[in-house]
Chain A
């Protein structure tokens, strides 16, 4: 069975050459430029509401949301496109980061008292894991630590026994499913079904004020640009080459004397932390977090963003996340019944006809 699971098809050598050539400075700079130009949205949002150039809070939140998703797509691409580990559980890390941020926001809006949902459950004191969440700094630590530690423990055991391929995918899916069930329970202490909402302020600023929103938006762009640069550096380093080799022929890499576990674990944890950070920005921007963010459906949808844009590239995932989510917000308003048909068809068509994603088409015309 191993033989079939791992038998590398011929086109993987093509892919390897393809990804080695990736990240030319030009396209990276172009992307960064586009991201920087998005900075105009929060500026326009700050204009008075009657100005013709004013951008509504809806658009700002929507674009901000998509940018957060783009970070998730990039993080997923790091593990899937480069290391060949398709995670179907990245929504879990995203939601964990979001919940960590949400804990702080809930504490801040509750003041000295308990968060509202706890009073409903007639709890008299905070559970131990809420300790210190009223401090923004500790909450930020949690944003990194919660997804990071979970990824570390899960990854350690998974990579130690060399779980990969579909085994790894379904394990991660089961993980996020279990997480969702856990967070749906009221007794878990995270607001059960409803999750966290009704946030009031962030660091003392009103969370719905245009200024706060604009700043959050800028922070998202900064995080996205930062993770893009980091991934670019990683992909071009020796580390990135080892990852690609790991994806294409793990056994041969081991025969060459490398131990793949450390490489996998590092990129896996990094990816989880990036997701957590994206979640932490998503929550104050959108104003709600609930366990449905952890549903396997969400995580698997992220995979199609990456596949559509082109995995193993850095810009592809951003493109894919933007396109799919843009279409989703249009479709679910215009033809809500047909969105799942469209999404399903996208899954099938992209895997059948666009194995290298949209960027693969663009690259075809490239004489190099």
Chain B
């Protein structure tokens, strides 16, 4: 019982401001477009929390008026009077806003939000006003800035204020605004200052020179963010390359063969993620957010099993013939791609990020670090650590290292080389499957997913050398960062070609890669 009473009371209190604000809504629906614009502008300059529901309803297109020009609000399909308790005399017609009014409405809402208690809302409002502010809002902004406590909101408001003051007729005010803009690191400030410096915009020489100085300052700050951004996307690409190349490095070191189907293991890992997601959607939608965690072991075991099966049936019979293994694994990759294409279709499938992987941290005004990429970098390092433990602290790892160094000697000492090969191949493929789960969170999942990674991951192996995890890690991050730093300078394609050339030159110096096992064997 009490719940119902509460609800009724609550809805009554919600309606209260509507009653208190007698006139506003009715004024609005009665006015013509020009008057409506003026009204909205006035509301923006003098925000009133009581007007909030009206503005929201207006924005959602729920305000209408009947023949007597009384404003009604549509709630759950029923029309209620906004002010007073009138019944609609005719079926109310919805109020349509043109683009200009819509823009004004956004400003009015933003200025309303400036009064909000939530700093995040105030920040969003200030950011909207940076883009769309009107000079009429200056007093309001000044007043709010004086009482603002949150630092970020302060910056955003200052910027919005400076933006507005740039068009002030008084050069002193403009000068102040230009200096203020110079102290921020916002991409928007750069745009505004550049606009100011354009031919014939700013008549005052003093303001122009101040703008030039400010622009330099802003650019310097932005450059820092851009460099950090490039380094971060380099790290991100590097972690992907690492996940793709780690397994390849293990099998290449062990068997001396390049598994051309390795890229397809990535692809299968990504499709396993997709399947886990579909199963979750169907049977456990409430736990959907956890699906990537479940996908990890699933992808690992599926790809590891396929890898071991390949080793048993095909690769085992080709030992000592690395070039032919290359061709046979290429054939396997063709079959796998076509198989996936026929089962799942040639189109990309949709893998959605769970909520905890979407969004990002705003580090600098022009630098957002997506959570998914941060998690993947961490995940790649975690996989490397696990692999290191596996290779260095377990019996299997000991055997793998022994066979990598000298197969015949290891066999003589009783290492079951065949079993080691199979398990190592499964491990390598499984790691690629894990990489596929990671890839599915940041890129498209399609049958050709793996093809684009096989060359890059082999270059990582070439650069890093085999038999040493450190080599792969260094090479993957090195290549990733080099790629991302070269990209904006000379373009992605030329950057790739340049890197290829550099690797060929690098091999001249160190044919065994960055970290090579030392040996004296020659045939």
Which residues in A have some Cβ–Cβ distance to B below 8 Å? 1-9, 80, 86, 154, 157-158, 160-163, 165-167, 169-171, 173-175, 177-178, 181-182, 184-185, 249, 251, 296, 300, 303-304, 307, 337, 340-341, 343-348, 350-352, 355
Contacts and interface: CB of A to CB of B under 8 A. Distances in A.
A300 B327 contact: yes
Counting contact residues on chain B (CB < 8 A from A), the size range is: 35 or more
B478 interface: no
A170 B458 contact: yes
Contact of B519 (A1, A8, A307, A351): A1
Contact of B253 (A1, A341, A343): A1
B279 interface: no
| 9 shortest interchain CB distances as A-B pairs | A347-B331, A344-B334, A344-B335, A340-B338, A9-B320, A4-B256, A344-B331, A3-B521, A351-B324
A192 to B, nearest CB: 12
B318 A307 contact: no
Contacts of B255: 4
Contacts of A350: 327
Interface of B: 252-253, 255-258, 314, 317-318, 320-328, 330-335, 337-339, 342, 404, 406-407, 455, 458-459, 462, 466-467, 493-494, 496-497, 500, 504-505, 507-508, 511-512, 517, 519, 521-523
Q: Which of A170, A296, A347 has the most chain B CB atoms inside 10 A of its CB?
A: A347
Contacts of B467: 1
Contacts, number: 144
Contacts of B342: 337
B504 A182 contact: no
Given A1-B404, A181-B497, A340 B323 contact: no
Contact of A351 (B327, B455, B459): B327
Contact of A178 (B321, B328, B337, B496): B496
Q: Which of A3, A160, A343 has the most chain B CB atoms inside 10 A of its CB?
A: A3
Given A1-B404, A2-B522, A337-B342, A157 B331 contact: no
A157 B493 contact: no
A304 B455 CA distance: 20
A157 B338 contact: no
B500 A175 contact: yes
B314 A352 contact: yes
B317 A347 contact: no
B326 A169 contact: yes
Nearest to A352: B317
B325 A344 contact: no
B72 to A, nearest CB: 57
B338 A171 contact: no
A341 B337 CA distance: 9
B321 A355 contact: yes
B321 A9 contact: yes
A352 B328 contact: yes
A122 to B, nearest CB: 20
Contacts of A343: 331, 334
Nearest to A1: B466
B406 A3 contact: yes
B330 to A, nearest CB: 6
B332 A344 contact: yes
Contacts of B253: 1
B335 A307 contact: no
Given A341-B338, A344-B338, A347-B327, A157 B320 contact: no
Contacts of B406: 3
A166 B326 contact: yes
Given A9-B321, A169-B323, A181-B497, 10 more contacts: A1-B253, A4-B256, A163-B511, A178-B496, A178-B497, A182-B493, A304-B331, A341-B338, A344-B333, A347-B328
B258 A347 contact: no
Contacts of B257: 166
B334 A340 contact: yes
A182 B522 CA distance: 39
A3 B403 CA distance: 11
B463 to A, nearest CB: 11
Nearest to A300: B330
Contacts of A344: 330-335, 338
B321 A167 contact: no
Nearest to B324: A351
Nearest to B409: A3
B520 to A, nearest CB: 10
A85 to B, nearest CB: 9
B256 A5 contact: yes
